[in-house]
Chains A and B, each alone.
Chain A
Amino acid sequence: GQQLNQSPQSMFIQEGEDVSMNCTSSSIFNTWLWYKQDPGEGPVLLIALYKAGELTSNGRLTAQFGITRKDSFLNISASIPSDVGIYFCAGPPGQTGANNLFFGTGTRLTVIP
């Protein structure tokens, strides 16, 4: 079955440091979405990517659609305490007609002030 593996599983960083995380798939994705989930809340969309090689920014966040279409990367620059949460990659499964998003295993980020 489809698998989206995220790395690292968790990170502990000092405030002000940059963060990098990635997501790899066992199959090709045509869209990559990055979500952030705060404790006790639903995921919130951060960035959407639609083309292999695409680099998209949203404030301090930058995400890239890997050229193999089997991976994606998210970078956070100059982290702040409110960046704490779980970051998920997601995308529609490869089969046509599917109407759902498949989510990765998540990267838990802790920012130490």
Chain B
Amino acid sequence: DTGVSQNPRHKITKRGQNVTFRCDPISEHNRLYWYRQTLGQGPEFLTYFQNEAQLEKSRLLSDRFSAERPKGSFSTLEIQRTEQGDSAMYLCASSSRGGLVRGYTFGSGTRLTVV
């Protein structure tokens, strides 16, 4: 297994456009997480899936954000009507049961720049 894979690595978009990112977790991991990291900060939690069910969303996940994991494997994160404040690194992570105490495996992230 090659770890957590995220695509694209970089995305530049104009304000107001929609963007979608994809995350392929480690195949045997049933838990998937999305985080956002702005410059100079640690990652901040956005949302969590267990299999295909989205079980937790942070208040950072505004109405313009939606995440799916339709078959309990890969996940997508869509941002509608992007704003300059959405510019950040979007990190996906996966874990098996016990990930909170054993740690997640993160992908390399998608860096979004909104111009």
Contact = CB atoms under 8 A, between A and B. Distances in A.
B103 A45 contact: yes
A48 interface: yes
B112 interface: no
User: Which of B31, B41, B111 neighbours the largest number of chain A CB atoms within 10 Å of its CB?
Assistant: B41
Contact of B42 (A88, A92, A98, A100): A88
A31 B100 contact: yes
B42 A104 contact: yes
Which of A4, A101, A103 has the most CB atoms of chain B within a 10 A radius of its CB? A101
B81 to A, nearest CB: 26
B25 interface: no
Contacts of B66: none
Nearest to A43: B106
Query: What interface size band does chain B fall in?
Result: 20 to 34
A103 B31 CA distance: 18
Contacts of B101: 31, 48, 50, 92
A101 B95 CA distance: 12
B45 A101 contact: yes
Interface in A25-53: 31, 33, 35, 40-45, 48, 50
A109 B17 CA distance: 37
A102 B103 contact: no
Contacts of B16: none
B102 A48 contact: yes
B20 interface: no
Nearest to B34: A100
Interface of B: 4, 31, 33, 40-45, 48, 50, 55-56, 58, 91, 93, 100-109, 111
Given A41-B109, A99-B48, A101-B100, 8 more contacts: A40-B108, A40-B111, A41-B108, A42-B106, A44-B106, A45-B105, A48-B102, A101-B43
Question: Closest 8 CB pairs between A and B?
Answer: A42-B106, A103-B42, A100-B45, A45-B103, A92-B100, A99-B48, A31-B101, A103-B43
